Structure 1
Amino acid sequence: MHANQIARGGMMTGVSVALLYIATFLSIASWAACMLIGFIPELFFLTGQKKTGYLVYAATSVLSLFLLPDKVIAVLYAGLFGLYTVLRFLFERIPSRVLRWVCKLIFGNIWVLIVLWCIRTGFLPNFPIQSDFTALIVFIAGNLILIYYDLCLSRIFPGLRGLAQRLQNNSFK
């Protein structure tokens, strides 16, 4: 790993943590901000700098867990949006399209089940679920959101390739 890669990774980690800190004050838009900040490690994956992408994700996750006043935002980035970007990069290397989607759906369903468990036990009191039918709707909606999010990412990431190349070539002037 070169010094310029480390410097770029450090800058993008700082930007990510600062944006996550701002996102803690945005109430409902904080989830959207987490999704967008989850794209930042992908800039390094697109240019073949896998180690830097992993380190940006890991450093942003750890720093946000320590520094952010709203730990829900930090957990959303560290455990869902940032992690999904990293795992998606690994899943895309699987040759079978069906196996790729199985892995993605397993990850998504684990998160939906964790959210349903948190709602049922009272960790998320803002989302009361009274019946099993409502839980089923949340489960189905979570899967649909995951599929839509992945399809959007498959369109967004190739568009980010030019930005990632400019970042690597120092052509931000």
Structure 2
Amino acid sequence: MNNATRAKKITLSGILLGFTVICVFLASVLPTSRLSLYAVSSLFTSIIIIEFGLKAGWTFYAASAVLSAILIPRLEVLPYIVFFGVYGLLKLYFERLQSRVLDYILKLVFFNICLLLGFVFLKEFIMVGIKLAAPVYIVAALMEIVFLVYDYVYTLFIRFYSSTLKPKLKI
């Protein structure tokens, strides 16, 4: 890799790392649009993967998780670290499988594990003694639908970036 290519890689990674941390920060302080900001923060990992490969994607995720945890020492960083930050990487692994059914099963299993961890965390540490207005299984089913929409939009973003933005940016 020549110096110009290395400089482009470092520059793009730094800019996208900054955007990621800004989105996670805004998700932690704004009263609304939290899920949208977490979702946007997860898209930057896919750009790194498209441009520089899977190893760079893992490095980017690790750097963004550590930097977010250092700069935003609040519990609101956990959704990014546990789910949104790593989802783009796992999505790539799942979609490399030959079976679309297995792909979606693995995605839903991962999502449900994260959802279960979130429910346990909320129940044990945040909402002690508070009852939910709706049964947990209804909330979980609605969240699964939201997740499937998120996965679809994520796929659309990857296609749009690969077919439209990447050729114009010439990175």
Query: Into which bin does the TM-score normalised by the smaller protein fall?
Result: 0.7 to 0.9
**Aligned twin of 1:157:** 158
Code of the residue aligned with 2:53 in structure 1: it is Q
Q: Which runs of 5+ in 1 are unaligned?
A: none
User: Contact between 2:19 and 2:41, CA under 8 Å: does it hold in 1?
Assistant: no
Equivalences for 1:61-80 in 2 at 5 Å?
Answer: 61-72=65-76, 74-80=77-83
**Aligned twin of 1:101:** 104
Compute the TM-score of the two structures, normalised by the length of structure 2.
Answer: 0.83
User: Contact between 2:23 and 2:40, CA under 8 Å: does it hold in 1?
Assistant: no
Residues 127 and 135 of structure 1: is their aligned pair in 2 closer, same or farther, counting only changes over 3 Å?
Answer: farther
Equivalences for 1:26-105 in 2 at 5 Å?
Answer: 26-47=30-51, 49-72=53-76, 74-105=77-108
Higher helix share: 2
Q: Which runs of 5+ in 2 are unaligned?
A: none
RMSD of Structure 2 on Structure 1 (CA): 2.4
Code of the residue aligned with 1:65 in structure 2: it is A
Q: What is the deviation of 1:10?
A: 2.3
Number of residue pairs matched?
166
**Aligned twin of 2:141:** 140
Q: What is the deviation of 1:98?
A: 1.1
Say which is worse superposed, 88-97 or 3-12, in terms of deviation: 3-12
- Structure 1 counterpart SS, 2:30: coil
Residue deviations 1:49-70 (CA, integer Å, cap 9, x gap):
2222222211011110111143
